[in-house]
Structure formats: structure tokens, C-alpha cells
Amino acid sequence: MLSDEQRRRLEEEKNSFEQLYKLQNEKIATLRSALVIETDPLRKFRYEHQMKNEETELIRLNGRLDEIERQLQSAQSIPVMSKIARRRVMFFSKSLHNLLLLFLVAIGLAITVHFVLNNQFAAAILFLVLTLILTLLLIASKFLIQFITHISQKWDAGQQQLASHLANKIWSEMELICWKLTSQFQAKYYKNLVYTYRTYRTQGLKTPGAFTPDLGKVFVPLRVSSKSPIQMSRGLIQKETSGNLKIWDFLAGTNVQPAYRCMVVIAPPGYGKTTLLEHLSLTYAKNLQRQQHNLAPKLIPILLYLRKVSDKIKSSQDPNLAQLITEIVKNEPQSLKLDPPLQWFEDRLKSGKCLVMLDGLDEVADIAVRKKVSEWVDVQVRAYPETTFILTSRPYGYEEAPLAQQPFFLEVQPFNLQQMEEFINNWYLQNEIIRQGRKEDPGVQADAKRKATDLIGRIKYNQALASMALNPLLLTMIATVHDNRGALPGSRVDLYAEICEVLLVRRQDVKGIVYPIQLTATQKQSVLQVLALELMQQETREFTSDIGEQIIKQELISVAGNTVQPKDFLKHIEQASGLLLEKRQDLYEFAHKSFQEYLTAVQVKDSSNEQVLINNINNSWWDETIRLYAAKNDISGLIGAALQNPTIISLRIAYDCLLEGKSVRANIRQQLESTLLSGLDSPDPQIFQLAAEVKLARRLNNFVRIDEQLAIDSDSYITCAEYQLFLNKTGERCQPKHWQSNTFPVGDAKKTITNISWENANKFCLWLKSWSEKQGLNSKLTESLTFYRLATKDETEQHSIKDDQQFKETGIRLFKFQLPSKYSQLAYYLMNGEWLEADLETAWRMLQVMNVRGIGGFSEFPCEDLRIIDQLWVYASKGQWGLSVQKSIYQNFKQKLREKGRKKSDWFRESVEQFGWLKNYEEISKAPSGYLPKITYKIKNIEISVKEMKKKETKTIVGFRERGKGGDERLRQLQEEILKLQRKYRRELRGEEWEESERDEKKKKEFWGDVEEYLGRRNYENINPSEELAQRLIECNI
């Protein structure tokens, strides 16, 4: 029997090992991915060796977890018996409860009747009321007991959580008091760290904030992931990623996982590496580490900036870390005068009580010195094996000077939407508190919330800003410019100007980094402007170093003479500022297209070359460049060019320029507004079509971004004029019933279209996808395609607009989402209501994923693919069908079967028979909930179909078995579907057409060989697909 303290320790140890087990799995997955793509034999061997060691460690962790589980279970064996006894008592109590209820009712009614017969009506009424009250109390007693029990459990959990929080806080305060009494130096050292790192420092911003907020109040914990360096991104601006691991998750595992004692944190510029280390120092100095993670070790933080200590390292022969720290603490300018006792740092480093943070390996500009610093770090890590080290660097800095030993690599992830919003809210709240000189109160909170909401909305409206806002440094600049210079995106030209200056020069100057290329920000930018304009004219973002060198050669000579070579300049811009990115070996591009567009706009202005923009007024590639140019210049010439050559693209750009431009002549403004606004009511079909298409195109360009994949129309509902385009283009008879014809009533062009059926609204959304691709608004050649659908009720409530109250039930509010191209056909079938075709397509795609991934069942099926398939089915069927619907029904029914003692092997058969999932319905709309998709046996059907096709050598009708029916019960009409399947094989497997008249047996044999290899030789009958799929959906939180 374990004591409470022993049980608590085991539970804590179990939690710690479960976290380590999770991290170890991720590490092995990362190594496995790196092993697949690695080509260098030496590195491949190192990865294989490391993976074996990590797998051994995983087995050890699993064994320890099993042992802890056994100990906890053995300790709980007596309580389990007591639970059985309690259930028996409850059984008898229930019987007695029913007898007592009958007895009281009978007695009460008998007494009531007795009083009535004796004409004592007052007493009769009193006893009747008492009988009813007692009866109700007894009937409700079960509910009351459960209610009180749940309240008690909630209360106990809340008390435990509150007690734990208070205990940690009190213990932290006691430790601080203890340090003051017993270790005066440590208390003074920690106080100095608080003074040093308490402010949120933005290195070299051109527009400094009016106030400097507290780091602890605005800091948003960064997400990190374990990756090998070759998998890490170099881009200044990256796409949003998943995962929520923090640096504290790895620090918490240092006691049981030695690999975490030497971590290398890598990220591109601006991702908050330095701020992360400063926040770690501040947290430990305030003794608040347990608020970050319950298992965080108690360590003494030591932060060294490698650019500042590199001279000391290179000047002597491997200076000792403890001596170097002592010298810096004693001699460097500090808020407090510190004099550490002899051997104070040495003793604590040897005993593993320190967290040594070495910031900015890449900021040691000289490569030779950087390599020496890296060697020195290796020596210190070996000298103090019990101490935890964290080294930070940009990717190129570490690649040029890696550690000799194998550290644990972490990559800082870009902000996600929630982190971005949290930072902006924190930023404005702290600024308002300081600006108003008040404590935090509802008035201050309301002012801060108003400004934060405004900025968040403007970021979501602008795709370029939304991408930049995922970088913490760029987000800080956006917030600062918004707070000090005015609204965005109108002032985004100023924002881009500031970003370029900060990244090109100011940040390095403030940090004291001296690079070999000494040019001003203006000189560097002038060279990049020439490069950007030439790339825009070639309509490309990518260029090789040879092409780039030729483009910038003359401009570089004009600003730097012959002192700087073009090749060195490009490499310097990539490594020092991040404005250029080397995507692959010798292939460069700007970090984001918006930087290329901004620099082009500035070059056009500087060279007085507006004609190049006029020549491209009908080219959507130049959209943003023209808008950026318009923000600082008169746009009469550009709008005039658009009016002379009116198209959807030119008029859309012209109207945007009218809203954002610096100035325009009055007659030009009037002419454009007349063309667009009056054109919607024009009886001329061509004028109407142009005006309506411009309106629709502008709508699609102004969606509010929700995340990397999703966006919603936050302006208004679809109008009659926009819906009329769909009717005119397709000839569909999908108009509302209240229209007298297939054309909206006169004068209703700008009114919201209402009373459109679900089916017709989805047809409109499908047409909108193809129309937008034809207009160049959405790419149709990428791995992901843009689709449109109706916003759901939850989405409408989360992103409400003023028109929702009136039109949310009857209007069309659009929702944009990105879908992998392999699922485009499935989306088309579902949104067109072609359910059986969608069923077969779903099975085909799932089988394809299984074989591409090399998995034989659902237990390892990718969660993202399951989520996409389920969301498409649930949306298109209005929640009637889909994987999650099937899972919910199956799980509820399975529980009933378990209670009845049914064997697990019978669960699937009984569930599909019970819910009619094996029946055939002539009217698919009458099929029960969860009927589709028939994943669990349709995958087998496809394999049967292909085998039948091969055996009969036919390309028309195929024998079709349904699982659970037995034998060839019927012959389904699958001719059309199987021909589609064959066309997929020809296109996807062979890459060539297979003519119907082909009689070449060798070719035919080769074809079927490809088919069998593609489908794999797995027997799906050996699994319980319904059970396995349901379990996978639970694991994927679907």
C-alpha cells in the first residue's frame, strides 16, 4: 500500500516520463525524415547510429512507464474492491429506495383519503402536499446526489489547483527570502538580472515606441520543434505551422534526458531567439519557472552574448567558462555592483545548477573567429557535463561553425494567429497603462482593446501583412508603426521602408556587429531596387547568383566602386539581413514578394518611370506594386490608362488605387466611379458584366484571413448583380423563386441575394472557384487549390458582421479555404451532391494515401487527411454524413454492445446492420445518418474491382461484392466509375494514354503490374476497419 506522498511522487514521475516519451517519439520521427532525404553517406551513417540509440532510449522510457503503471495499479487494487462493494450497496439501496417510495406514496394517499372521508379537507390537502413533496424529493434524490457529487469534485479540483498555485508562489517567495539571508550574492545577482532584462527591447527600430513595455507582460511563449538542421527553414517569413511545444518542455526533461542538456536553437532573423533567452533569465531571476512548467528545474541563469565575448575567447587559449562569467559579472557595466565569491560559479557549474545561454553564434561576423568560438563551446560542454547549455544561431551561422558533438536541435516556429493576437493585445494594454499613467482598469482595457482590434483586423485584411505578422520582429514593427504613424495598410509603404532600413543596417549597428561590407542602408537598398525591378519585369521571383550578379553589377559599382563583388553582396544581404533567401543551392529570391514589390515601386518613383506601370495596368502580377506606388504619388495617369483599356484587372486595380492613392484629378475620379457604380444598373450587358466582375473580384481580394488555410468575407453578403454573373455564365436555372425570370428585378443590383437553396448556393461556390482561377485571382497550378463554400453558423458567429442578423439564414456569405489538389475532385462531387461518385472517390483517395505512405491500415493514417475528408463530407451533407458522424454513432452503439456482453468481433457487423449502413437506397437522400462514406469496406471493393477487371480483361462492367453480404449478390452499375478509375491509372501511373484498341499483351501486363504495385498486396479483411478507424479519429481529435 503506497502512502499519499509515494503516490504523488509516482504520478509526478509518470507525467515527466510521458512528456519525455512524447518528445523522444518526435525526435525519432525527425531523424527518420532526415534519413530519408539525406544523400551524404557519412551523415546518413551518423543518423542511422543516432536513431538506434534514440530507439533504445525510447524502449527504456517505455519500460519505466510500464513499471510505474504496475506500481500504481497494485496500490489501487484494494480501492477497486471497495468500489465493487459500493456498487453492491448501491444495488440494494436502489431496491430499498423503490420500496420506500411506494410505501410513502401509499401511506400518504391513505391518510389523505381518510381525512377526506371525515370531511377534514384542510388536513387532507396538507398531507397531500407533504406526500407530493416527499415523493418528488425521493424521485430527484439520484439527481441531487449526482449534482452534489459533481459540485464536490469540481470544488476539490479547484481547491487542489489553487492550493498548488499558492504553494508554488509561497515557496518561491520563501526561497527569495532565503537567498537574501543565506546567499547575498545570489539575491543581488538575481536582482541585477531583473533590472537588466525586465524591458522588452526592440533592437534598432527606426520608429521607436513611445513607451517601453515590460518583457514579462508582452512576451508570448515561442513554439519550438525538434528538427535536423537540413530540414530547417531559412526564410524571414514562413507559413504558419502546427505544434505547441515550448522550450520549457525540454528544460523540464533535462534530469532524465541528458540530450537536452545541450540544445541548439536555430531560427531566421527576427524570430525572437535573443528575447527568448532574456525571458528565460528574467523568469529564473524572479523564481517563476514553475509557473511556466510544473517540472521545470531550479537553475541559475547565465546569459552571454557571443558577439561581446568573442574577443576574450580568441585572445586567450580556451578561457575557462567559470572564469569568463566571473570576469564579466565583476567588470562589465551593471545596474548593481557585483562581486561573486571565489569559485561561486565554478562550483555551481560543476554540480549542474546553472543554465548557460550563449546567444548569437551567427553574430560573430568573422568566420574564423566564429569557428574558434564554436570549438570553445564544445570544450565547455564537455567540461561541465551536468550543466544545461542553450546555444542560439541563424541557420547559416551554425552551418559554417557547427559543434563537434551532436547537440539536440530545436527550430523556433513562426507565430500562429493566436500568438499574433495575444502579442498585439499585450502590447497595446501595456502601452495604454503607461501612456495614461493609470493602473489597469476597465477603461484602460477598453482603449487598448479598441486599438488592438483595429490592428488585428487590418492585418487579416492584407495577405502580405498577415504573412509578415508571423515574424515576431516584423509584428513589433507593424504594431509600432500603427501606434505612432497612423492606420494600416495605408501607411504600409512607411512600414516596408522601416523594415528594409532596420534589417539592412540599423539592427546590426545597435548590436555592434561589424560586417566586411560597409555600405549604408540607402546604398544597399538602391542595389536591391534595381534587382527587384528587373525580376518584376521578368515576372519571376527566383534568380541564380549569376543572373543576380549581372543585374546588380552596374548599380553596385556606382555606389561602392570595385570594393564589393556582386557575389559577396548577395551573400551578405542573405546572411546579414534576411531580405534575400537562398531557397536551394544557388537559387535566390526575396524573403517575401511584398519586399520585391515595394522595392520596385520605389525604383519606379526614383527613376520617374511610371510608364512601366501603365504598360502593366492589365497584368495582375503588378497589382501590389501599383498600389504601393499609388500611396506616395498622383495616380491620375494610372487610372486614365485603366479607363482607356477597361478590363476586370485594370478597373479593380484602378479602384483600389482610388481608395489608397495620394491624389487624383477630380474628372478622372468621377469617370471611374461612374463606370463602376452606375455600371451595375446598366441595361447594356457588357457594361453590367464588367462592373459586376470588378465588384466580385474586389470582394475575393478582401477576405479576412483566419489562418494559413482559411479566410472569410467580412464585408457583406453576395449581391444580386454578383449572383447574376453565375446565372449568365452557366445558364443554370438557379434563381430565387420570387424572381419573375432568370434576371434580378430592376433596381436590385446592389441588394443582397436571398432565398437561395443550399444546393444552388454550393453550385455558385463551385462556379466561383473556376471563375476566379480564370481571372488570375487564384492559382490553379499549386499543390493547394482555393475553394469557396458557405460560412457555417459557428464561423458566422465568430466573425460576425452587421448584415448577419438580417441575412445569415437566407443569404450567401462566402468562406475561402485551401484544399490539397488531390481532394479537388472529391470536393466537386460533394458540393454537386453526387454522393455515390464522392463515395468511390473517397475510397480511392484513402487507398492512395495508404500506399504512398506505406501503411496497411487506419492506425497510422495521417490525421490531416482524415480531417479534410471528414470536413468535406460533414459540410456538404449538412452534418448527416461523414467520418466523425460515423464515429459518434458507432462509439455510442459499441458501448451498448459492450454492456450486453457482445464479442468485439461482432461489433462491426451488428452496428452496420442496426443502422442500415449495408442497405441500398434508390433515393440517397433517404439514407440514414452515417450511411456515407462507406470507407470500411469500399477500400476492399476497389481491390476486388481491379482484380475482376484483370481476370475478365474487360473495361466495362465489374463484379461487385459488398462486405457482409457474401458472394456475388448483385451486379452494380459501376461502368462509368471504373472507367474513371482506369483513367486515373493511365494518367497517374503511366503518364500516357492506353488506347481502347490496344492489344499488346506486354503492355497490358506492364500496366497491371503497375496497378498491383500501386495498390499494394495488403489484405484489408484482416483488420476491424470500423473499430480501427474510430480509434484513429479519436486520436486525431476528429
For the segment 192-236, what is each residue's pLDDT rounded down to a tens digit?
Answer: 999 999 998 766 676 666 677 899 999 999 999 988 888 888 888
Q: Which 3 state secondary structure label does DSSP give 1007?
A: helix
Nearest Cα residue to 505 out of 524, 492, 518, 521: 521
Residue 1015 has pLDDT above 60, yes or no: no
| 785: nearest Cα among 773, 768, 771, 795 | 773
Q: Where is average pLDDT lowest: 557-566, 709-718, 986-995?
A: 986-995
pLDDT at 1012 over 50: no
Residue 1031, pLDDT above cutoff 60: yes
Whether pLDDT at 417 is above 60: yes
What does the pLDDT read at residue 550? 95
Average pLDDT, stretch 558-581? 91
pLDDT of residue 963: 32
Task: Kindly report, residue by residue over 100-132, the tens digit of the pLDDT.
Answer: 667 777 887 888 888 788 888 888 888 788 888
- Report the chain's mean pLDDT, rounded to a whole number: 79
Summarize the confidence of residues 35-63 as an average pLDDT: 65
Sheet holding 814-820, edge to edge: 704-705, 710-712, 814-820, 784-790
The whole-number pLDDT of residue 992 equals 43
Higher pLDDT, 541 or 30: 541
pLDDT of 27 reads: 74
Task: Tell me the average pLDDT across 549-561.
Answer: 94
Q: Which of 31-45, 429-443, 643-657, 873-887 has the lowest mean pLDDT?
A: 31-45
Q: Is the pLDDT of residue 187 over 50?
A: yes
Q: Which pLDDT band holds residue 975 (cuts at 50, 70, 90)?
A: very low
pLDDT of residue 1000: 46
Kindly report which listed range (149-153, 290-294, 543-547, 1019-1023) carries the lowest average pLDDT score: 1019-1023
Query: Which has the higher per-residue pLDDT, 507 or 407?
Result: 407
Residue 354 has phi, psi (to 5 degrees) of -115, 155
Q: How confident is the model at residue 72 (pLDDT cuts 50, 70, 90)?
A: confident
Residue reference for cell 587559449: 317
Torsion, CA 257, CA 261, CA 262, CA 268, rounded to 10:
90
- Alpha carbons 190 and 969: distance in angstroms, whole number: 80
Q: Could you tell me the CA-to-CA distances from 390 to 116, 357, 408 in Å, in that order?
A: 88, 5, 10
Return the pLDDT at 184: 79
pLDDT at residue 33 in the model: 59
Q: Rounded to whole angstroms, how far apart are CA atoms 881 and 872?
A: 10
More confident residue, 897 or 344: 344
Which DSSP symbol is given to 989? I
Give the rounded distance of the alpha carbon of 720 from its chain centre: 36
pLDDT(993) > 60: no
Contact 415, 267 (CB under 8 A): no
534 has pLDDT over 70: yes
pLDDT at 495: 85
pLDDT (tens digit per residue) in 842-890: 877 887 777 666 666 677 788 889 999 999 999 999 888 998 888 888 7
Comparing CA positions, the residue from 219, 235, 331 lying closest to residue 277 is 219
Mean pLDDT, rounded, for 158-184: 63
Average pLDDT rounded to a whole number, residues 620-635:
92
Q: Please give the order of strands across the beta sheet that includes 580-584.
A: 543-544, 587-590, 580-584
Write down the pLDDT at residue 458: 84
* Distances 879 to 792, 825, 828, 834, 889 between C-alpha atoms, Å: 11, 20, 18, 16, 13
pLDDT band at 946 (very low <50, low <70, confident <90, very high): very low
pLDDT at 619 over 60: yes
pLDDT at 995 over 80: no
Q: Would you say the pTM of this structure is higher than 0.85?
A: no
- Cell numbers standing for residue 1019: 489484405
CATH code of the region 221-414:
3.40.50
Position 986 confidence tier, pLDDT thresholds 50, 70, 90? very low
The per-residue pLDDT for range 442-492, each reduced to its tens digit, is: 899 999 999 998 888 888 878 788 888 999 999 998 888 888 765 565 567
pLDDT at 56 over 80: no
Where along the chain do its domains lie? 4-75, 79-139, 221-414, 682-831, 835-1035
User: Average pLDDT for residues 313-342, to the nearest whole number?
Assistant: 85
Instruction: Give the range with max mean pLDDT: 52-56, 85-89, 132-136, 677-681.
Output: 677-681
pLDDT-above-70 percentage for the chain: 76
pLDDT in tens, 804-841: 889 988 899 999 998 988 899 899 999 988 887 888 78
**pLDDT at res. 89:** 37
Higher pLDDT: 642 or 19? It is 642
Averaged over 609-618, what is the pLDDT? 94
| Whole-angstrom distance, CA of residue 161 vs CA of residue 814 | 43
pLDDT at 947: 45
What is the pLDDT, as a whole number, of residue 181? 58
pLDDT of 907 > 70? The answer is: no
Contact 945, 981 (CB under 8 A): yes
* pLDDT > 60? residue 95: no
Name the residue among 285, 372, 377 with its Cα closest to residue 324.
377
Q: pLDDT-based confidence at 85, cuts 50/70/90?
A: very low
Q: 360-414 pLDDT, tens per residue?
A: 999 998 899 999 999 999 999 999 999 999 999 999 899 999 999 889 999 999 9
Angle formed at CA 970 by CA 965 and CA 973, multiple of 5 degrees? 125
Q: Bigger pLDDT: 22 or 956?
A: 22
Over range 912-920, report the average pLDDT.
Answer: 67
Mean pLDDT of 135-148: 69
Give the residue-averaged pLDDT of 985-995: 43
DSSP state at residue 576 = I
The pLDDT of residue 253: 85
Q: Name the strands in the sheet holding 300-305, side by side, starting at the edge strand that comes first in the sequence.
A: 224-226, 408-412, 262-266, 388-393, 354-359, 300-305
pLDDT score at 322: 93
4-75: CATH topology is: Helix Hairpins (1.10.287)
